[in-house]
Structure 1
Amino acid sequence: MREVVVVGAGLAGVRAGEALRARGFSGALTVVSAEAELPYDRPPLTKQVMAGTLTADDIRLAGVEECDARWVRGTAAVGLDRERRRVRLADGAELAYDGLVVATGARARAWPGEAPAGVLTVRGLDDVRALRARIDGGAREVVVVGAGFVGVELASSLVGLGLGVRVTLVEPFGSPLRVLGGTV
Structure 2
Amino acid sequence: MNGIVIIGAGESGTRAAFALRETGFTGCVTLVGTEPHLPYERPPLSKPLDGAVQMKPICGAEALEAADIGYLQGVSASQFDADTRSVTLSDGRTLVYDKLLLATGARPRRLNCPGAERALDFRTYTDAAAIFACAEAGKRVAIIGGGLIGMELAAVLRGKGIAVSVIEMAPRPLGRAVPARFATRLHARHQNEGVVFHLGQGIAEITDDAIVLADGVAVPADIVVAAIGVQPDIALAEAAGLATGNGILTDGHLRTSDPNIYAAGDCAAVAQPGGGHMRFESWRNARSQAETAARNLAGSQETFMAIPWFWSDQYDLGLQVAGLPHPDHQSVTRQLDGGELEFYLDGGRLVAAAGLGLGNSLAKDIKLAEMLIAAGVSPDPAALADASVNLKALLKSARAA
Do they superpose with TM above 0.5?
yes
Who wins on radius of gyration, i.e. which is larger? 2
The reply on whether 1:74 has 2:71 as its aligned counterpart is no
Question: CA 1:182–1:119 in structure 2 vs 1: closer, same or farther (change >3 Å)?
Answer: same
1:25-44 matches, cutoff 5 A: 25-44=25-44
CA apart distance, 1:90: 2.6
Q: Contact between 1:51 and 1:160, CA under 8 Å: does it hold in 2?
A: no
Question: Structure 2: which amino acid aligns with 1:24?
Answer: G
SS in structure 1 of the partner of residue 6 of structure 2: strand
Question: What's the % identity of the aligned pairs?
Answer: 36
CA apart distance, 1:47: 1.7
Structure showing greater relative contact order (alpha-carbon pairs closer than 8 Å, 6 or more residues apart):
1
Aligned residue number for residue 176 of structure 1: 173
Deviations 1:129-165 (A, max 9, x none): 11112225x7712111111111111111111123xx2
SS in structure 2 of the partner of residue 48 of structure 1: coil
Scaled by the length of structure 2, the TM-score of the pair is: 0.41
Segment of structure 1 superposing worse, 61-70 or 167-176: 61-70
Aligned residue number for residue 130 of structure 2: 130
Aligned residue number for residue 90 of structure 1: 90
The reply on whether 1:150 has 2:149 as its aligned counterpart is yes
Segment of structure 1 superposing worse, 33-42 or 165-174: 165-174
Structure with more strand by fraction: 2
CA apart distance, 1:26: 1.4
CA–CA distance in structure 2, aligned partners of residues 173 and 86 of structure 1: 44
Q: Contact between 1:50 and 1:158, CA under 8 Å: does it hold in 2?
A: no
Question: CA 1:62–1:101 in structure 2 vs 1: closer, same or farther (change >3 Å)?
Answer: same
Question: CA 1:3–1:180 in structure 2 vs 1: closer, same or farther (change >3 Å)?
Answer: same
Question: Structure 2: which amino acid aligns with 1:123?
Answer: R
CA–CA distance in structure 1, aligned partners of residues 27 and 37 of structure 2: 24
SS in structure 1 of the partner of residue 13 of structure 2: helix
Structure 2 portions without partners, runs of 5+: 184-401
Question: CA 1:49–1:75 in structure 2 vs 1: closer, same or farther (change >3 Å)?
Answer: farther
Question: Structure 1: which amino acid aligns with 2:174?
Answer: L
Scaled by the length of structure 1, the TM-score of the pair is: 0.85
Question: CA 1:50–1:171 in structure 2 vs 1: closer, same or farther (change >3 Å)?
Answer: farther
Question: CA 1:75–1:111 in structure 2 vs 1: closer, same or farther (change >3 Å)?
Answer: farther
CA apart distance, 1:115: 5.5
Aligned residue number for residue 60 of structure 1: 57
CA–CA distance in structure 2, aligned partners of residues 152 and 50 of structure 1: 20
Deviations 1:70-101 (A, max 9, x none): 11121222322100111222333322111111
Question: Structure 2: which amino acid aligns with 1:29?
Answer: V
Q: Contact between 2:35 and 2:73, CA under 8 Å: does it hold in 1?
A: yes
CA–CA distance in structure 2, aligned partners of residues 94 and 115 of structure 1: 39
Structure 1 portions without partners, runs of 5+: none
